Amino acid sequence: MQTLFLGNVALTAAGDAHALATGVGRIALKLVMKLLLSPIERLAQASDVAGVLVHRKRQQAERRRCSFPFGYLKHLT
């Protein structure tokens, strides 16, 4: 009975450690990508004469806020 309990605890701890490592890895990857791509983003913002990037960001934000499951199809109506 005790060995089953200890085995279950060990598996749970290993699963938690794996989830923690995966989460930390994803956060680190996002930070590295942000650091690497920030000069390109600044250059794109500086050369955006017509405001196309701002318009695209607004459209993406509107699509995310829509609670209707097929909200991305609303431009068809």
pTM given for the model:
0.50
CA distance 11 to 75: 50
The shares of helix, strand and coil residues in the chain, as percent rounded to the nearest 5, are 85, 0, 15
pLDDT at 21: 95
Is pLDDT of 17 > 80?
yes
Residues 18-57 pLDDT 10s? 999 999 999 999 999 999 999 988 888 888 877 787 787 7
Domain count, the chain: 1
Residue numbers of the domain that contains 64: 2-76
